[in-house]
Amino acid sequence: MTYEIEIDGINKIFDIEKKEKGYLITQNGKSVFVEKKDLSNSVHLLVEGKSHEVGLAKHSEYWEVGVEGERFLLNVVDPRKKSLRMVSGEGEGLLVTKMPGRIVEVCCQVGQTVEKGDVIIIVEAMKMENPLKAAKSGTITEIYVESGALVEAKQKLILID
C-alpha cells in the first residue's frame, strides 16, 4: 500500500508491504526490510541487520518519533483531508505549526527565494528545537510571526509562492 507521510513538514511517498516477518518499505526505488518487536514504551526495529530502538508518542494529530538521538514529527496524510486543506488554501506553500510552541528564529525574509528543504523557521515545542523546512521552492511572500512569539497549533507561519 502507498502512503504519503509528512516528516517534519516535508511530504514523502512510501510503499509499505506487509511480509511474513516484517515490512518491505520502498521509497524512490530503494527498499529496506524492517522487522518490528513491540517493547513497553518503544519499538525495536531490525533494519537490514542493524538494530534500532525507536521511541513513539502518539499526539492528537501526529506521531513523535525518537531514534538514535534524533526527534521527528510524523503524520500519515489522509488524502481526503489533504484535498480539503488544498481547497482551504493551506497547500504546501503555507507553513503552519503542528503543535503549540515558541518561535526561536525566523530564518528568512519577505522577498527571499528559498529552495525546497531549506530551513525557514525554528520552532521550540516540548523543550525541543524543530527546524521547519520549505515544502517547495519559491519566494517568501508573507511571514506571519516573529522570533520569540508564542504560537498555537495550526497557526500560520510563512507563505511561499
pLDDT for position 78: 64
Taking the CA atoms of 146, 149, 153 and 155 in sequence, report the sign of the dihedral they define: negative
**Quick one: pLDDT at residue 83?**
40
pLDDT along the chain (161 residues), means of 10: 80 86 88 80 79 82 83 75 41 79 93 91 82 89 94 89 89
Is 84 strand, coil or helix? helix
> Residues of CATH 3.30.700.30 domain(s) within the chain?
2-76
Residue with cell 494529530: 61
Q: What is the pTM of this model?
A: 0.47
Question: What is residue 79's predicted lDDT score, i.e. its pLDDT?
Answer: 59
Looking at residue 43, its pLDDT comes to 78
How many CA atoms are closer than 13 Å to the CA of 6, on its beta-carbon side? 21
Q: What is the pLDDT of residue 111?
A: 96
Beta bridge partners of 73: 64
| CATH architecture assigned to 89-160 | Beta Barrel (2.40)
CATH 2.40.50.100 domain position(s) in the chain: 89-160
pLDDT value for 62 = 80
pLDDT at residue 47 in the model: 84
Of 2.10.109.10, 3.40.50.150, 2.40.37.10, 3.30.700.30, the CATH number of 2-76 is 3.30.700.30
